[in-house]
Amino acid sequence: MEAYELDAIKRITTRPRAEYRTIEVAPITPVIGAEVSGLDLARELTGEQLAEVRRAFLDHHVLVFRRQDIGDDDHKRFAGHFGELRPVNPPPPEGDPYVLEIRTGAEASNVAGNGWHADGTADPEPSLGSMLHITRMPEPDCGGDTLFANMHLAYDMLSPTLRGMLDGLTAVHDGGLSLKGYTLPPDYVVPKSEHPLVVRHPETDRRVLYVNPAYTDRIPQLSADESRAVLDLLFKVVAERPPLFCRVRWEPNTLVFWDNRCVQHHAVYDYYPHTRYGRRVAINGGPLKG
């Protein structure tokens, strides 16, 4: 790695870590992810517990809660402490409008999320984050992990010259890129939005590289060829830099809460023909600013 890449990693790994009184927080890697214990999400949390979860969320970006036997009401109550719940879009034909079923059947040739992405970046105001509760896993030791990448660090690991070029540019995110092959409701409007290519996290003000191959279509300030070359280069930043990410190994009744504003994830489909099932609740975000 180049010296500036090593410096970016060192800045994260050597920063002071928060101390906690009501929960235990064990980092998964030095740069992203933590396992949180000491909470029962089927119960109402205290103000101090919630404040410490928020602090851990901003510090680690991905929080893993094991052995959580919860129902939809518990799931939504916990998510609601972090913002307004985000309706599923398109809405499910039946069931709770705020709960998305994540179901992989034995016949699936592929699954949604099997590639690096952030959720719904084609929306005008993408989500703050998601909480996925997995209750049914593939057969023992048959895969189904999810990878999560720190997009703060992805930006920081770029060369200073490239960072200077990217600051101030925008990118068009097109929801149609991720919907090819899907049958949509006739009244569904495919979202398309233009966001800064480098955004600032609304709570920490840290810069985030905000492009992903599932939704990002083009950089309008560049020619078509230039845009394609730059985007392909940036997409490879995540795919080819393992120091950016952590791997979460699911177990039944695991809930993972990730910050969709500064994290990309990849749901690895390596368990065909086995099945997996979970339920996801998302939280509304706000406008993105560069």
- Please report the domains of the chain, with CATH numbers, ordered by start residue: 3-283 (3.60.130.10)
What's residue 158's pLDDT? 97
> What is the residue-wise DSSP string for 121-149?
TTSSS--SEEEEEEEE-SSTT----EEEE
57-74 pLDDT, tens per residue? 999 999 999 999 999 999
Taking a C-beta distance cutoff of 8 angstroms, is the pair 58, 52 a contact?
no
Nearest to 156 by CA among 118, 207, 117: 207
pTM assigned to the model = 0.96
Taking a C-beta distance cutoff of 8 angstroms, is the pair 98, 87 a contact?
yes
What's residue 181's pLDDT? 67
Taking a C-beta distance cutoff of 8 angstroms, is the pair 58, 174 a contact?
no
For the chain (length 290 residues), average pLDDT per consecutive 10?
A: 90 90 97 98 98 98 98 98 95 90 84 90 97 91 92 97 96 89 78 97 97 97 98 95 95 97 95 92 96
Strand (E) or helix (H) holding 86: strand 85-86
